[in-house]
Amino acid sequence: MDWTRMRLEEDGRWYAYKDWYARKWSDTKSWAYARRRALVIWLVIVLLLLGYLFQFTTVFHPSRLYSISYQEQVARHNSLVSQKIWQILLPMPKKLKSKPVAFAEPSAWMQMNPGYTYTLFGTEGAVAFLQSRFPRRQDYLETFNELRNPGLKSDFLRYMVLYAEGGVYSDLDTRPEKPIDEWVPTDYETVARLVVGIEYDSLGGDIGKDYTYPVQFAQWTIAAAPEHSVFVNMTERCIRGLHELSEKYSTSLGEINSKDDEVLKATGPVAWTETVFEGIQVQAPELQSISDLSGMKEPTLYGDILVLPINGFGSGLPHSGSARWFTPKEALTTHHSESSWRINS
């Protein structure tokens, strides 16, 4: 290549160079050296590009290759949590369609938990489920049908599903980090019938503006044995709360403003936190206030309710002492984004 390039140098004069990369080296090093150097630069660029493309293949996703022998799996299931995984995807009303729903690999749930059944509820499946499992509770079905906001519907449905069947409910934007059979510490396997994770902990400081209590339980992931009474109280509470709000604002359930804090509180984590804590206090009256759970380091059992510290379900959060930059070994699931429908509805 015998072309030249002109370049204005610091002394204000124009100089000719054979190649741009030869500029620095031409006095002291040979042209061959400069060419080799260019070759190395190109190689690095090509390798980086290939590396980038490879991330879309399975090579870099070990969870997609997760496998375990069936024998081993069967032998390991000792906890009371049913071998069932539930997720919910309800259609978004057209007017709310502003953000896509975030998915984080539902298949990882199946692959990491052989022996578990997996159900992704849509509206019809949910209605059929409520009809067959709660035939005498028409109000459950009616409330579910009347609600229009998919976030509120999904909140409400998860408690009834876990009551009737047990298992693990998890939002679609979560990723499992450990097989469900390893969630409950061995010592608690024959006792724990409800597993809840802390999602917020003020750690003794001021309570964050989006929170009501110094400690809040997540309801994006819940594990349970069938028929835990906390879910009865929670379901009743949702129905009561929603109807009170629709009366207060003289609207139908379908029209109550689901952006409203009060509405989110009726079915979401605040109501869940209060209901679970009530259940904990029934079994562990020595607990005075929910802030007694603050700063928890190890999974702790209260009666038959197992509470996981922040990193159980809530690693990667920018608060609450959560491990932010890496996934710690005690992480059971990670939550990847806030439910998109909650914000825009």
Among residues 323, 321, 319, 320, which one has the least CA distance to residue 334?
323
Q: Which is nearer to ligand NAG, 110 or 282 (CB)?
A: 282
Please give, one letter per residue, the 3-state secondary structure of the chain: CCCCEEEECCCCCEEEECCHHHCCCCCCCCHHHHHHHHHHHHHHHHHHHHHHHHCCCHHHCHHHHCCCCHHHHHHHCCCCCCCEEEEECCCCCHHHCCCCCCCCCHHHHHHHCCCCEEEEECHHHHHHHHHHHCCCCHHHHHHHHHCCCHHHHHHHHHHHHHHHHCEEEECCCEEECCCHHHCCCHHHCCCCCEEEEEEEECCCCCCCCCCCCCEEECCCEEEECCCCHHHHHHHHHHHHHHHHHHHHCCCCHHHCCCCCHHHHHHHCHHHHHHHHHHHHHHHCCCCCCHHHHCCCCCCEEECCEEEECHHHHCECCCCCCCCCCCCCCCCCEEECCCCHHHHHC
> To the nearest whole angstrom, how small is the minimum distance from the Cβ of residue 317 to ligand NAG?
27
> To the nearest whole angstrom, how small is the minimum distance from the Cβ of residue 121 to ligand NAG?
25
> To the nearest whole angstrom, how small is the minimum distance from the Cβ of residue 200 to ligand NAG?
21
Q: Which is nearer to ligand NAG, 153 or 237 (CB)?
A: 237
> To the nearest whole angstrom, how small is the minimum distance from the Cβ of residue 161 to ligand NAG?
18
Q: Which is nearer to ligand NAG, 194 or 331 (CB)?
A: 194
Distance (Å, rounded) from C-alpha 262 to C-alpha 266? 6
Q: Which is nearer to ligand NAG, 303 or 321 (CB)?
A: 303
Q: Which is nearer to ligand NAG, 275 or 340 (CB)?
A: 275
* Contact footprint for ligand NAG (CB under 6 A): 229-230, 233, 278-279, 282
User: What are the CA-CA distances from residue 291 to residues 135, 203, 220, 274, 294 (Å)?
Assistant: 39, 8, 21, 12, 5
> To the nearest whole angstrom, how small is the minimum distance from the Cβ of residue 229 to ligand NAG?
4
> To the nearest whole angstrom, how small is the minimum distance from the Cβ of residue 272 to ligand NAG?
12
> To the nearest whole angstrom, how small is the minimum distance from the Cβ of residue 140 to ligand NAG?
17
Q: Which is nearer to ligand NAG, 234 or 332 (CB)?
A: 234
Crossing angle of helices 229-248 and 150-165, rounded to 10°: 150
Q: Which is nearer to ligand NAG, 170 or 275 (CB)?
A: 275
> To the nearest whole angstrom, how small is the minimum distance from the Cβ of residue 102 to ligand NAG?
32
Q: Which is nearer to ligand NAG, 278 or 338 (CB)?
A: 278
